Amino acid sequence: MENITIRRAVREDCPRLLELIRELAEYEKAPQEVTVTLDHFIESGFGLQPVWWAFVVTVEGRIEGFALYYIRYSTWKGQRLYLEDLIVTQEMRGRGLGKLLFDRLIQEVREKNFKGMVWQVLDWNEPAIRFYKKYSAQFDAGWVNCSVD
């Protein structure tokens, strides 16, 4: 069995995390959308006022996936963990690493007494949808995503 570890991300992980973010953007057919710089990414996660946290999964010491989240506040529910990205390298998918990360997030929700976890999934990403259905995730088709740049 391979040496697999789940741990909290540290500042030194950021270059590898950004590599995986770019890999995800390629998979999602939007590589041009990744515009964050490494400096901004590091400052946002490890500066004086961090706005994101992450868990990484390593295989034989190499980061092969991560789950990045932040705290979202719902006026109806309270504090909830918002899963921004759950990424496992293409060559490591199907080996249970995503499950390990997702289970660790659920543990974090419980430890921090959050009122649940929310995330988005692309409607064409059938492997991810099947994965989330194993957790009895609720899919809300009644909402439209909006953003302003």
Please indicate whether residue 82 is annotated as part of the active site: no
Write the burial class of residue 38 (CB in 10 Å: 0-12 exposed, 13-18 middle, 19+ buried). exposed
- The C-alpha atoms of residue 119 and residue 67 are separated, in whole angstroms, by 11
- Residue in 23, 22, 118, 12 with CA at minimum distance from that of residue 56: 12
Q: Is 44 helix (H, G, I), strand (E, B) or coil?
A: helix
The tokens describing 17, both together, are 């995390």
**CA of residue 40 relative to chain centroid, distance:** 18
Task: Please pick, among 69, 73, 82, 132, the residue that the annotation labels catalytic.
Answer: 132
61 Cβ neighbours under 8 A, 6+ residues apart: 3
Residues labelled as active-site residues: 132
